[in-house]
Amino acid sequence: MRPISLAPHLNNTGLTGTAGLDGGGFNIWGNSFPAGELPPAGGTTAVGEVPFLFPVAGADNVRCRGQRVEVPPGRWDWVHVLGAAERRTEDLLEVHHSDGSVRGQWLRLSDFWPQTEPRFGEVLAFRCRHLHYPRHVQRTMSPSIWAQRVPLTVPSDVVALVLPDNPALHVFALTLQAAE
């Protein structure tokens, strides 16, 4: 398993503390996840058996706009994704290989919105007890972050992943898994 740093691509603030509620804006309404209910920023956290590099507070997730994420070249089998969407959505993740070929694989993420079930068979990674609004903490809303995985089907070195140009998709962390 190889957690990938998304630091160069983080462009959205989805986690806030109670002292900085108005600094968040995971969705277009300025809502954010309570950082205090999630794993420590900057550390590695496991969801099931998959280790994810959990983002530091601040710009902490990637709102997908076609960013190219370089990965350590290798014959990876799975891309594990920690993320959520603003209303469920799906799009092609471009998988770039060392031979210059490009293949698309579906990246599907369910809604982060409270009381909304996963649509694409994801594992619930985190469900917070509160939802942050710019001027208050809502104690009756429980937003979700999902763990999804994308298969890499061709036995050829992968060198980069290009995220979809779909800003409804948010990615907090990526981890690559090699063949056994």
Binding-site member from 1, 134, 154, 162 for another protein (CB under 8 A): 134
Map tokens 């937003």 to a residue.
Answer: 143
Q: Is 49 in the site for another protein (CB under 8 A)?
A: no
Give the C-alpha separation, 31 to 115, whole Å: 15
Q: How far is the CB of 1 from another protein (least distance, A)?
A: 29
Binding-site member from 29, 124, 127, 179 for another protein (CB under 8 A): 29
**Residues 91-130 contacting another protein, CB under 8 A:** 91, 111, 113-117, 119
Say how many residues touch another protein, by CB under 8 A.
Answer: 31
Binding-site member from 2, 65, 97, 103 for another protein (CB under 8 A): 65
Q: CA 148, 150, 152 angle in degrees (round to 5)?
A: 160
CB 129 within 8 A of CB 143: no
Give whichever of 18 and 115 is closer to another protein, judged by the CB atom. Answer: 115
Write b or e for each residue in 8-29: b if 16 or more Cβ atoms lie within 10 A of its Cβ, otherwise e: ebbbbbbbbeeebbebbbbbee
Map tokens 């298969």 to a residue.
Answer: 151
CB 78 within 8 A of CB 177: yes
Give the C-alpha separation, 75 to 166, whole Å: 27
Binding-site member from 45, 105, 133, 160 for another protein (CB under 8 A): 133
Q: Is 70 in the site for another protein (CB under 8 A)?
A: no
Question: Which residue stretch of 42-50, 53-61, 155-163, 165-173 sits at the interface with another protein (rule: CB under 8 A)?
Answer: 165-173
Using CB under 8 A, list all residues that contact another protein: 28-30, 63, 65, 85-91, 111, 113-117, 119, 131, 133-136, 138, 140-141, 165-168
